[in-house]
Structure formats: structure tokens, C-alpha cells
Structure 1
């Protein structure tokens, strides 16, 4: 009966979500495929996304073998941006005379070989001696001009802070390993020192940059927003409590000034995006989370646009519970094919200007969306 059918569909979908691959694809090779990694949707087959179904097929299915030419001068090109130290190895005139006789030799072009040389990092101490002067008459004192400390009361310099940040956040090296690495250089700093520096630098310097980028984001007509759960230790709650990292970013239409801002919050409450977007007027592309639509109802200057990736997911889930022999007859399959066509045509417009893209969308894509 209907209830039993619904339960079977839920079981099939639950098994797919638990044991199946976290990808969404149709058997058609032209389908743009999606995968989910740590809750984030990633696109991994650009070739399928930009292909043209109307392009003529080759006369033969045998692939043409293309012989790639060996790159010439690649090693020299790789070294072109590095400082070069010339090291000469020449024979003395006495050695040449002994080998060839008096005036029995001529100089040929040098044989040149190049080798990479790595210079390990080193730690030095900059000891600032600041002149202090006092008046002989009234006793007042003055100091010579000198650079301000990066952090008051701390010996950390900009170069050391940059090294810690690069190691921790770019190279993903834990602080305890950085502590060991610096100790091998003769510098005894603890992971607690480095953790404190990162927090203080974030509060005193990076927060200013963050606020500036936040204000710049308001000037973009289209932005994107999403939130993903994270686990944080020792935040005053019980172990395993779920927090959220909210992400706001500019779209691909602003390639020269990309902005991506992360905001950590303990909850998924509507208050957080309401506060972050309070001065923003424009279009915000999101998933189907109802909080964003609540904000849209509260304001006339904010438009929430849906995400096609999240929209198609429900149809992909619906298709998963349909027997394979009947899938191509289902409404979910037809809708997925329609969305596939929209993606393919949209991919052809990505290099156009905003005005040209809008014009082409009205002609080529709007009828497909209306048909859905």
C-alpha cells in the first residue's frame, strides 16, 4: 500500500545516504556531477559542464594519438625567478700548458650545469638600542624615534608572526610541531606563545581588515551565503556540541576582487545572518534553509535566490528510490535533464559581461526555467 511504499523509499534513500557515494550524477555523460566533501558541494568535472551536445561527432571512435613535444628549456624557466650565484671552475694556464703544450689550446664555450641549493631558515635577534636623552636644566627626557612593537610587551616580530601563520594556516602544521621546528633553530617559544600571538594579531590587525572587506562586500549586487556545522572544544559547553561556521562571499562575476568571509557562531539562529547582512542590499544566493527566506520577508531590499545544486538534490534523491527500469519515465529524471540543459547553456555564458549574460539568459535559459 501507499504507506509501505513510502517506508520502502525512505529505507532505500537512507541506505544510499549512509553507504552510497556522496555524489549526484546521471548516467548521461553530459551531466554535470556533484560531490559533497565535509558538507561542502564541489564541482569536479568541468569538461562535462562545458561540452556541447550539438557538436558533430567524429567519424571514428578511435582516439587520435597526439605526440607531445618535449618542453625545451623548462629547467631554465623554473630557475628564472631565483637568484643565481655563478661559481667558476677554470684550469690555470700552467695546467693547460702541461696538457696541450705552449699555446696549444683554445677556449670553448663553457659547459654549464645548474643545481638547486636550499638555504635553511635561521633565527636572528634584532636588538634595538634607542637613544634616551635628558635635559640638563629641567630634567625632562626624550627617546629617539623607533619602530613600534607588533604586539605590546611581546618580542614577536612581523616576520616571525608571518612564519607562524604560514606554517599553521597555509601549511596546516600543528603548533606543537612548529614549536619543535623553531627549537631546532635555537628559538625556544611555546605553542601557548604562538596561540596567544595568533589571537592577539587577529584582534588587533586582522579584525580591521575583516571589517573593511565586510563593508566592501555590501557594494556587490550578488553575493552567496552558507553555513556548515563544526565541532569546537572547550567553548563552555558539553563535548560534542555543534557550532556553525557561516560563510559569505562574492560570486564568480567579480573575479578581480573576490571576497570570502568566515564568521563563527555557536548557533544556526536567524540573528546571525540578520546582523551580518543588515547593511546589504541586493541578491543573496543560498540553499533552502528557511532562515534566509525569513530575512527576505523582513526586508524589501534583500532578495534571496535559490541554489540550483541544492534544488536538484531533492530530485536526485527522489530518482534514487525509483527502480532503474522506470527511472527515465519518472518526473524526477525529466526535471534533472532540464536542469542539466540549463547548466550546459549557462556554462557557455560565463565569459560574457553582465549585460550580455542577462540578455542571453532571457533568450536561452528563461524558457527552460519557466518550463520547470
Structure 2
């Protein structure tokens, strides 16, 4: 006996939908006309050949596998179907506007109820922005629920034409928990929150400050700083599976004394280093943000780093290398919506393709406009979705 792996190429098929019409002939004899038509399932995009599976496939290819639309256009041609990239882009934009945004709106409401939110942002080039050159830098913002015991695992991407703190302030309006970020000043605009800065970000400053000659004083201080920060991460790695209560207790017993000693070490050595050197900037950054870097000790729901946000936004940065830019603001908003759904699905161990296909089949036949509460059944962590779309 032997086992072999065989690849079966994908196939597409055209489905013709007919609706029969019935007339009551007896009624007609009595001059009462009665015509019956069976109800046809609503389509995901009216007046389009797009099916739930075709749109879900297009979205997954671009936003999970980073396959640009021009390559997908060629893939469809190889299957004998002429679909240009403009049509594929319209599918994404229209389906996102109609069916994904109501889900994301509800996800946003739940995110603001979390105790911890991680945030990050990355540049994106968007064509056709009103009053701006095509070379102008826009941004994709990412907001995520926390790592430790979140109410729900949520990832939301939001496209904005800039990096002003007003965008974060507006998105997080009404939130009053812990906000994990790097030290970008724009997040200072967010009110009624506790800032929790990232030790991985601080560590990078010292890594960059190590000179080629590690025997000099700056090399010694930079390496000692990295060593002390690594000790914190080593403890966190051990505590990752602990309960909130135990993690809080161990942090105060093990990490707080290390931090107190480290602050003293930096204070003693800061005047020995030129303030404008790489190491001087690393020391000043760390000391200036001392309070925000140790906020995580207040509540064990907080994390020592913002790596969760950076890892969540990485699929977008990988995709950006392939598709390079968004063709319009509508396209950028649609991209944000699809990334939000796919990354939230991943965080909840839901198959993104199954989920997209499922909601594109179900939502058009649900009275969502008249009964918005029905959206609850289609959130990525709902029992209905777990039962039908799990990985």
C-alpha cells in the first residue's frame, strides 16, 4: 500500500435560477385572477453574477493570501471566466458596504467595552482622495482587544487620510480602559484612558544604540538595558498561562523590584551619555515614559508589550507590498472592513472563507434593517458562527 497526494484544480460553474409562475385556472373561469410565485432567495449583490462563494474567494485571496486583483483576474481567465479587476474591486466594495460594515459597527460597540485595547497604525497610499495628491500618505489604523481574558477577540481596521490623534480620539470616544500603544504623541489626544506603553518598542531603541565597539561605555549601558528588559519578558513568558490574580501577584513580586533597580541604573548613567546620541535618546525615551511603561503593573489584563497590535496589523503590511496602494477611498474603507473580519475570524478560530460565504448567504435574507439585533447571531464569536464556520 502507498499513499499519494493528488492536486485537483479548482472548478467554477454557472447556476441558472428559474422561478415558476402558477395560475389558478378555476379562479380565472370565475373572473378572479390568482397568480402565485415562489419566493426566490435574495442575492448578495443585485444585478450581478457574483455569488457568496465568488465574493468570499476574492476577498480571501486578496486579504488573507495577499493576491492582488490583477493576478486574480488572470486566475479567473485560466478557468475560462472573463472577469476584469474593476469588477472584482466592485464586488469587494459593494459587499463590504452592504454586509460587513453592520457587523463591524457592532464589533466596535463591543470593543469599547473591553478593559484593554491595543492600537497601532501604518501608512497606506490611496488614490483619488479629495484635495490630496496621489502620493500623499494616508494611514490604516488597527484596534484590538487585549491578550489576557478579553470579553471578545476583536480586531478592527480603520482607514483615515492622516495620522492625527483626532482619528484615534473619535474611534475610542467613550472608552475608559487601558490603551496599549507605542509612544506616538497622537494617542495623547484620547481622553479618559490609561496609557500603557510597549517595552518591546523601548528595547528596540537600545538595540539600535549598540555601537560596533561594544567595549565602550555606551555599548555596556545599551547591553545592560537589553539584559534587564529581557528579564522582564522572560518572567512574562512564564506567567502567560497564569490566572489574572496570580499574574498580578507575581508581577509585583518579581518585576516591580527589577524595574525600580533599572530606573535607578538609568538615572545614574544618563549624564554619562550625550543626549543626542542613539543611546542618549533611548535613555531619555525610557525615563520620560517611565510611568506609562510600568502601567501594566496596575492590572494583569494589561500586557508588557504592544506586540499583539503589531502582529495583527502585519497581514496588512504584507498585503500592501503586493497590491501597493488602494485605488480609491471607497476601496481603502472596504479593505479595512475585510481585514477587520478576516483578522477577527482568525482570533476566534473561525475559517474566514466559510464565514464570509455564510454571511453573504444568510444576511441578504434577514430583515436586518428592521431588526438590527439579528446581527448578534452573525458576529464571529456567536454560537451560530462557531457551529457553521469553525476551522
Q: Normalization by structure 1: what TM-score?
A: 0.63
Check if 1:184 corresponds to 2:78.
yes
Q: Cα deviation per residue 1:58-91 (whole Å; 9 max; x = unaligned)?
A: xxxxxxxxxxxxxxxxxxxxxxxxxxxxxxxxxx
Matches within 5 A, 1:264-275: 264-275=159-170
Per the alignment, residue 368 of structure 2 pairs with none
- Aligned residue for 1:178, secondary structure, equals helix
Q: Which runs of 5+ in 1 are unaligned?
A: 1-111
Distance in 2 between residues matched to 1:171 and 1:286, nearest whole Å:
27
Displacement, 1:287?
0.8
Specify the alignment match of 2:383 in structure 1: none
Q: 2:235 aligns with which of 314, 337, 345?
A: 345
- 2:185 is aligned with 1:287: no
Residue 18 of structure 2 corresponds to: 129
Structure 1 position 204, deviation (Å): 0.9
Task: Tell me the matched-pair count.
Answer: 256
Select the residue among 93, 105, 115 that pairs with 2:4: 115
Matches of 2:74 and 2:227, distance apart in 1? 55
Indicate conservation of the 8 Å contact 1:220/1:250, yes or no.
Answer: yes
**Kindly tell me: are residues 174 and 330 of structure 1, through their superposed partners in 2, closer, same or farther at Cα, counting changes over 3 Å?**
closer
For 1:173 and 1:216, how far apart are their aligned partners in 2?
31
- Summarize the Cα distance change of 1:151–1:338 in structure 2 as closer, same or farther, 3 Å threshold: same
1:139-288 residue pairs with structure 2 within 5 A? 139=33, 141-236=35-130, 237-254=132-149, 257-288=152-183
C-alpha separation in 2, matches of 1:257 and 1:333? 39
- Per the alignment, do residues 370 and 139 of structure 1 end up closer, same or farther by CA in structure 2, a change over 3 Å counting? farther
The answer to whether the Cα contact below 8 Å between 2:166 and 2:186 also exists between their aligned partners in 1 is: no
> 1:307: which partner in 2?
198
Instruction: Say whether the 8 Å CA contact 2:211–2:218 is kept in structure 1.
Output: no
> How far apart are 1:304 and its partner, in Å?
1.0
Distance 1:203 1:266 in 2: 19
SS in 2 for 1:348: helix
Structure 1 residues 114-141: Cα deviation after superposition (integer angstroms, max 9, x where no partner): 3333332222121111122456345465
Contact 1:328 1:334 in 2 (8 A): no
Distance in 2, Cα, partners of 1:267 & 1:242: 7
DSSP 3-state at the match of 1:324: coil
CA distance in 2, matches of 1:196, 1:329: 55
**Max radius of gyration: which structure?**
1
Superposition TM-score, scaled by structure 2 size: 0.60
Q: Is this contact kept in 2: 1:287–1:310, CA < 8 A?
A: yes
Greater shift, 345-354 or 234-243, is seen at 234-243
Question: 1:335 maps to which residue?
Answer: 225
Give the Cα separation in 1 of the matches to 2:2 and 2:75: 33
- C-alpha distance after superposition, 1:313-369 (max 9, x if no partner): 34445x436953223785544433322222222221111011110011111111222
- CA contact under 8 A between 1:327 and 1:333: conserved in structure 2? no
Q: List aligned pairs for 1:86-125, cutoff 5 A.
A: 112-125=1-14
Please provide the CA RMSD for this pair. Answer: 2.5
Native 8 Å contact 2:166 2:189 kept in 1: no
* Contact 2:124/2:137 (<8 A) preserved: yes
